[in-house]
Chains A and B, each alone.
Chain A
Amino acid sequence: MRTRFPIVVSLFLALALARPAGAEITKAKTASRSLDAVVKGLKPRLVGLFVKRGRERRLAPTEEQLRGLTDDERKDLRAYFRRPAGPASGLLIDGKGHVLTSLYNVEGEIRKIEVRLADGTTSPATVLARDFIDDLALLKLEKPVADSLTLPPLSWGESFQTGRFVLAVGVSGEPSGTTATLGIISAPGRNGGRMFQTDAALNYGNAGGPIVDLEGRVVGIATFIGHFYPYWGMNSGIGFGVRADTIRKVLPVLLDGKNIVNLGRPVLGVLPPKTTEESEEKGARIGKIVPDSGAAAAGLEDSDVILEFGGVLVEDFSHLRQLIVQREPGETVPIKVRRGDKTLDLRVVLGEVKDTDS
């Protein structure tokens, strides 16, 4: 079994040499908390998920990949493709038995989910709702959460600034064991601003668990690992967490037992040309207008070139997409369009994404 970094525990004495009076003592105490304390504060909410699966697509290395390897190396490589034994992680978000985890952990044919809580007790659980956009799943424990399990307050983080430290906390194989891996926020808003990217080591095991900042606030739930191959034991320094603000938005829907399949994302209704080559020409050349879209209603035509969007000069189609996603569905946006040798000023009302392709 692979090892994750256990954090090195060391003690740090709270009080400075001189004894400050009253309120200053309290300030000194909180400032000197250690990473260890941050993890401890989260522990009562950490749960381990033991998932019994039905048929699962068996992935295996190809002949090409196995060629030339020794027997030991082949065993090693095959192990990369197998889902490891042991629990996945989840976060108990309230005293009513609601557990957030990554959809990945409970994907496919599930026979049974057994949740192990921080006090050692276990409870079967069912999937209450699924968020396909964010790779999130909400579980409901069948047994009530014991009063004896005192849950410290759960605070959600609000800063996702690039460069901030984050700690991914997960359950380990041992009962009441935890793991913590440290990294930074590598990018704040992937997946349409809903996820941050981190280089904290995320792997099977801590996916589904909470990612916290230095203040102990939950900034996200660890979801999938950025990788070209579905290898389980090999993080490459790219992992993702659903942002806390996204979670807070979707939670009411999920608690209601409803899945999230569509995004309320803004859409203009233009498709790029079949072949896009880099050109000196500035602006986004439209391939085709999507019928019944905001673009169609505004009078845009195939092969128009969008020069400005909401007052911003458009570099190319890629840039246009980035500008569109910063708006809300229903917003009216002024655009400047070149058609032949004419320049037109139009106003377009953005629609909402209902199905595939933005």
Chain B
Amino acid sequence: MSRLGMGFTRPHRSVLRRRSLPALAFASLLALSAASAVSSASASKGMSSSTGSPRGGDDLERLHRLQKEITEVVKRTLPATVFIDRGSGVVISKDGLVLTNDHVVQGHKEVWLRFCLSGIKRKATVLGRVPDGDIALLKIDEKGDYPFLELGDSDKLVQGQWVLALGNPFLLGVENDFFPWSSPDFHPSVSLGVVSALHRNAPPRYPSAIQVDVAVNPGSSGGPLITLEGKVVGINGKIETKYGLTVNSGVGYAVPANQIRRFLEPLKAADGREIFPGQIFGLEVDERTERGRRGLLVKLVVQGSQADKAGFRKRDRIVAVDDQAVPTQNRFMGLLKTYPVGSRVNVRVLRDDSELELEAVLTAAVRKPAKLGIRTESVAEGDDRLKVAQVVPGSPAERHGVKVGDVILEIDGEAVKSITDLILTVRAKRAGDTIVLRILRGDRERELKVLLTPVEG
């Protein structure tokens, strides 16, 4: 039968013969359990109890009003959305500043953009990248008066609030596999959902993400998350997936606008280079929180360090950074990662019986070479996968639960196919980096987070 006659090629693609997917970051979970993936306070548009979401059977009038708001904001915001390679982006200034994910830009110095609807193409230069925050800032080369959207205040978002995602999932707006015989319409995909949770720390690159149930899929990356007012409150870029099936499961993450805003000036001046988040150097904070006692316990302050100069003392209890509460170490570390190197932050601590405000300057992480602490060998004759043959005592690998016999499948989502892969990957890391190892133990796969320490000697 002719190809057109068999026109409807339903996605019966052989699973093995998968084309390289459009841009999106994944965190693969074997079992999407409520506890691990979704905070207990998350909201989803399927459940009808959060603020603002319609209950079936409710006043159709309310839905009509909402519909009017949605169609109008879509009309206003569509022209400022762009397609970038295998992902998306959004114009945020009249003179052509464009935001997208770092993984959409993929290390290129220049990219082509295509404006939605009109199809007009423009070249853009990468002004700067934040690889640790999955953001890139571009500037359209050709001078012009471009349609743009404003950044909103992501800290003012409320759980259950309506948000829309604009992007190019499965590249449906351009030439794609679903309708290979039809011409592109340059129309992005618009999906509706709610804010499920705020400040989710989804490593490795989403320290303070907005969790949404809006449908985002490969190709949506870099596109804007907007409110009904048309403000950009986030850049969509990552989803939780199950069984390695790289499609939306109802849990998506966006880099929040407030984090992006802090990086804008450094990015504009970065000349194509990377901007890193800073840290309060010389400060070690206890992971555990004590019931009945507020604040994170400062375990150690290195003498002469930035933390020392800022005035931190051992046994201080940290409660807030720039007026944002930091109830857990996870939240504290995540929040700090939303500030670029050089930022000054106010940290509120409890000392004895009083509250103090300390000002700390965030510095670059000391980028010493890192060590993992394992020796590997091939799994078997003909099976090139790497098996842990020895775990160095006292090493990060040992501390984080790597065991002899574990097969190393992936590091940070990248497959480890040879000893060279392993060596090069670890060599590219620095002390203080956390890597996510995907290992096979027996017949179970699991993920281990390992904080790398400096190489001795």
A interface residues, Cβ below 8 angstroms from B: 5, 7-12, 31-36, 38, 57, 59, 61-62, 64-65, 67-70, 73, 77, 80, 103-104, 132-135, 161-165, 180, 182-193, 197, 199, 214, 224, 226-231, 234, 236-238, 261-263, 278, 280, 315-316, 318-319, 321-322, 324-325, 353, 355-358
Cβ-defined contact, B46 with A5, below 8 A = yes
Contacts of A226 in B (CB 8 A): 11, 169-170, 172, 178
Cβ-defined contact, B123 with A280, below 8 A = yes
Residues of B39-82 contacting chain A, CB below 8 A: 46, 48, 54-61, 63-64, 66-67, 70-75, 78
- Interface check B405, CB cutoff 8 A: no
Inter-chain CA distance A152–B113, complex, in Å, is 49
Cβ-defined contact, A9 with B56, below 8 A = yes
Can you name 28 A-B residue pairings with CB atoms under 8 Å?
A10-B57, A11-B57, A12-B58, A36-B56, A38-B60, A57-B12, A67-B440, A69-B30, A73-B243, A80-B245, A135-B10, A163-B74, A186-B191, A190-B179, A192-B179, A192-B182, A192-B183, A197-B172, A199-B214, A199-B215, A226-B172, A234-B247, A236-B217, A238-B169, A261-B5, A262-B4, A315-B114, A358-B183
Distance of B61 from chain A, by nearest CB (Å): 6
Distance of B228 from chain A, by nearest CB (Å): 10
Q: Number of B interface residues, CB 8 Å? A: 81
Contacts of B70 in A (CB 8 A): 163-165, 184
CB-CB under 8 A for A318 and B174, given A229-B13, A356-B4? yes
Contact of B63 among A77, A163, A214 (CB under 8 A): A214
**Chain A residue, CB-CB nearest to B440:** A68
**Chain B residue, CB-CB nearest to A185:** B190
CB-CB under 8 A for A10 and B58, given A224-B10, A236-B217? yes
Count of CB-CB pairs between chains A and B under 8 Å: 237
Contact of A163 among B3, B67, B247 (CB under 8 A): B67
Q: Which of B30, B70, B178, B445 has the most CB of A within 10 A?
A: B178
CB-CB under 8 A for A189 and B31, given A182-B56, A237-B217? no
Cβ-defined contact, A187 with B8, below 8 A = no
Contacts of B185 in A (CB 8 A): 187, 189-190, 193, 322
Distance of B185 from chain A, by nearest CB (Å): 5
**Chain B residue, CB-CB nearest to A259:** B5
CB-CB under 8 A for A182 and B71, given A133-B8, A228-B11, A318-B184? no
CB-CB under 8 A for A238 and B54, given A214-B67, A315-B121? no
Contacts of A261 in B (CB 8 A): 4-5, 7
Stretch at the interface among B14-22, B202-210, B314-322, B372-380: B14-22
Cβ-defined contact, A31 with B173, below 8 A = no
**Chain B residue, CB-CB nearest to A132:** B7
Cβ-defined contact, B188 with A187, below 8 A = yes
Distance of A159 from chain B, by nearest CB (Å): 9
Inter-chain CA distance A237–B2, complex, in Å, is 31
Cβ-defined contact, A7 with B56, below 8 A = yes
Mostly, the B contact residues are loop
**Chain A residue, CB-CB nearest to B85:** A278
Contacts of B245 in A (CB 8 A): 80, 229, 231, 234
Contacts of A190 in B (CB 8 A): 172, 178-179, 182, 185, 187
Residues of B243-270 contacting chain A, CB below 8 A: 243-249
Inter-chain CA distance A278–B114, complex, in Å, is 11
Cβ-defined contact, B4 with A230, below 8 A = no
Cβ-defined contact, A357 with B217, below 8 A = no
Inter-chain CA distance A199–B119, complex, in Å, is 24
B interface residues, Cβ below 8 angstroms from A: 2-8, 10-13, 15-16, 18, 21, 30-31, 46, 48, 54-61, 63-64, 66-67, 70-75, 78, 112, 114, 119-121, 123, 164, 169-170, 172-175, 178-179, 181-193, 214-217, 243-249, 440, 443-445
**Chain A residue, CB-CB nearest to B241:** A236
Cβ-defined contact, B7 with A133, below 8 A = yes
Cβ-defined contact, A163 with B184, below 8 A = no
Excluding A163-B164, A190-B182, 13 further A-B contacts by CB distance (< 8 Å) are A8-B57, A10-B55, A68-B443, A73-B243, A163-B71, A165-B70, A180-B56, A186-B191, A190-B179, A214-B60, A214-B64, A238-B215, A355-B4
**Chain B residue, CB-CB nearest to A189:** B185
Q: Which of B4, B6, B121, B216 has the most CB of A within 10 A?
A: B4
Cβ-defined contact, B192 with A322, below 8 A = no
**Chain A residue, CB-CB nearest to B10:** A224
CB-CB under 8 A for A35 and B57, given A190-B185, A224-B10, A227-B247? yes
Contact of A8 among B55, B67, B120, B190 (CB under 8 A): B55
Cβ-defined contact, B217 with A8, below 8 A = no
Cβ-defined contact, A62 with B15, below 8 A = yes
Cβ-defined contact, B5 with A73, below 8 A = no
Cβ-defined contact, B12 with A230, below 8 A = yes
**Chain B residue, CB-CB nearest to A324:** B183
**Chain B residue, CB-CB nearest to A315:** B121
Cβ-defined contact, A238 with B189, below 8 A = yes
CB-CB under 8 A for A191 and B59, given A162-B71, A162-B190, A315-B120? no
Cβ-defined contact, A164 with B71, below 8 A = yes
Cβ-defined contact, B3 with A356, below 8 A = yes
Cβ-defined contact, A358 with B182, below 8 A = yes
Distance of A330 from chain B, by nearest CB (Å): 18
Distance of A107 from chain B, by nearest CB (Å): 8
Cβ-defined contact, A230 with B10, below 8 A = yes
Smallest CB-CB A-B distances: 8 pairs: A237-B215, A7-B56, A68-B445, A236-B247, A163-B71, A321-B183, A10-B57, A163-B70
Contacts of A7 in B (CB 8 A): 56-57
Cβ-defined contact, B191 with A184, below 8 A = yes
Distance of B32 from chain A, by nearest CB (Å): 11
**Chain B residue, CB-CB nearest to A5:** B46
Contacts of A69 in B (CB 8 A): 30, 243, 445
CB-CB under 8 A for A65 and B244, given A190-B179, A355-B2? yes
Distance of A344 from chain B, by nearest CB (Å): 24
Inter-chain CA distance A229–B73, complex, in Å, is 33
**Chain A residue, CB-CB nearest to B178:** A226
Distance of A93 from chain B, by nearest CB (Å): 21
Contacts of A193 in B (CB 8 A): 185
Cβ-defined contact, B18 with A34, below 8 A = no
Cβ-defined contact, B119 with A31, below 8 A = no
Contacts of B216 in A (CB 8 A): 237
**Chain A residue, CB-CB nearest to B169:** A238
Cβ-defined contact, B4 with A188, below 8 A = no
Cβ-defined contact, A162 with B57, below 8 A = no
Inter-chain CA distance A67–B170, complex, in Å, is 26
**Chain A residue, CB-CB nearest to B191:** A199
**Chain B residue, CB-CB nearest to A59:** B12
Contact of A318 among B78, B119, B187, B189 (CB under 8 A): B119
**Chain A residue, CB-CB nearest to B216:** A237
Inter-chain CA distance A133–B5, complex, in Å, is 8
Inter-chain CA distance A280–B121, complex, in Å, is 9
Q: Which of A69, A132, A236 has the most CB of B within 10 A?
A: A236
Cβ-defined contact, B5 with A357, below 8 A = no
Contacts of A231 in B (CB 8 A): 245
Contact of A182 among B21, B54, B188, B249 (CB under 8 A): B54
